[in-house]
Amino acid sequence: MSYNSVGPVVMMSVSGVTATPGANDPEIGTRTTVAGNEYVYVYNTGLAVGQSQIGVIQSGSSGYSITGSSVVGADAAFGVAKNAAIPNGSYGWLMTRGFSKVESVSAVTSGMQLAAGTNAQASDPITGTIFARAAEQTIACGAAMCYVNCF
């Protein structure tokens, strides 16, 4: 059985990042599914989010604004910059559901649950909202393949 999306036609690749949206760029909050992964279009109002890093919700009233800074257990992960880094003041795509490499602040084991940590990296969820589960083990900090499921 094939999958047919009924979402809007998106003219920009999920690898696309721009500082100034054009006439054909999606609106903030647009969602799309590509190769089984779900994405949301966001605006980075804070610190840069590198590739494989997590973007966290700026505040409850900021809509689809994200930042790369986070406090362990205090910020909710909004998604992972799977395909491209999103600099401050830029628009881009965060993957909200699917498989992706995710940077962590320390070693992870397969099956370990992850929450937002410091410096846009994941950490062991002492407190906070779990957003991913590691699918592989890493010996030290770095990027591990994870299943991401944000909101």
Domain positions in the chain are 31-149
CA angle 14, 15, 20 (to 5 degrees): 90
Residue of higher predicted confidence among 141 and 95: 95
Say how far residue 13 (Cα) sits from the centre of its chain: 16
Best CA proximity match to 40, nearest among 19, 57, 61: 57
**Assigned fold of 31-149:** Virus Head Decoration Protein; Chain: A, (2.40.300)
CA distance 32 to 150: 14
pTM over 0.75: yes
pLDDT, residue 127, reads 67
Best CA proximity match to 69, nearest among 10, 118, 7: 118
Q: Which two tokens stand for residue 49?
A: 């989010």
CA angle 115, 97, 58 (to 5 degrees): 55
- Confidence bin at 5 (pLDDT 50/70/90): low
pLDDT, residue 6, reads 56
Beta-ladder partners of 57: 66
Residues 4-20 have a mean pLDDT of 75
| Least confidently predicted of 15-19, 49-53, 55-59, 104-108 | 55-59
Contacts of 6 by beta carbon, 8 Å cutoff, 6+ apart = none
| Least confidently predicted of 52-61, 66-75, 104-113, 137-146 | 66-75
DSSP assignment of 96-124 equals: EEEEEEEEESS---TT-EEEE-STT-EE-
Share of the chain residues as helix, strand and coil, in percent rounded to the nearest 5:
0, 40, 60
